[in-house]
Amino acid sequence: MQGEPEVAVLRLGHRPGRDERMTTHVGLTARALGADRAILAGDASKSVETVEDITDRFGGPFAVELTDSPRQVLREWDGRVVHLTMYGERVQDVEGEIRESRADGEPILAVVGSQKVSFDVYEAADWNVGVTNQPHSEVAGLAVFLDRLFEGRELEREWEGASHRVIPEETGKTVVPADEE
């Protein structure tokens, strides 16, 4: 979030066609839950388009980009790397350390895989973190991790440059032009 060390999400292992929706959901979840940027590895241009379209309509700042070299992104990251994996340490045990390192000024790169993630990612990570040690969903793991990293503050963030805004309400679906408050 703005005025704080950056949080970026690196999505590994995108397979065009098969992973389109999951990768899009990773990007949209990163945006909605307080990350500053999503970096999508491989041929994920459709997912980039969708996330950019949502950012145009519902606001930012949020950046989304492609990379052909996720290993280089990992290697050159100037901050800490958190790899979300069901094999990692329990999120409830390490989230405090991760928050502290960010409070000390370290940007965080949160890495989420698709299917198999190669072992060098485990080695490159400062923390391998399991949101449960159960198989479920990289989107769910990312969401819980971000909500805990930001301790819920991400739910209060303001959106800039939006053309549309949803009015939260008990029963209804109300979207208004963003300047009509």
3-state secondary structure of 109: strand
Q: Does 128 bind its own copies (CB under 8 A)?
A: yes
Cβ burial, residue 145 (10 Å; 0-12/13-18/19+) = buried
Dihedral angle of Cα 121, 126, 130, 131, to the nearest 10 degrees: -120
Q: Does 44 bind its own copies (CB under 8 A)?
A: no
Binding residue for its own copies, selected from 31, 37, 80, 102, defined by CB under 8 A: 31
**Beta-strand pair 80-90/63-67:** unpaired
Q: Do 165 and 58 meet the contact criterion of CB atoms below 8 Å apart? A: yes
Range 60-119, binding its own copies (CB under 8 A): 85-93, 119
Q: Does 45 bind its own copies (CB under 8 A)?
A: no
Nearer of residues 80 and 105 to its own copies, judged by Cβ: 80
Nearer of residues 61 and 105 to its own copies, judged by Cβ: 61
Q: Does 39 bind its own copies (CB under 8 A)?
A: no
Binding residue for its own copies, selected from 8, 9, 29, 108, defined by CB under 8 A: 29
Q: For the CB of residue 79, give the shortest distance to its own copies in the complex, in Å.
A: 19
Dihedral angle of Cα 144, 150, 156, 159, to the nearest 10 degrees: -90
- Amino acid found at 17: G
CA angle 81, 69, 107 (to 5 degrees): 25
Return residues touching its own copies (CB under 8 A): 21-22, 25, 28-29, 31-33, 54, 58, 85-93, 119, 122-123, 125, 127-128, 130-137, 139-144, 147-148, 152, 154-156, 159, 165-174
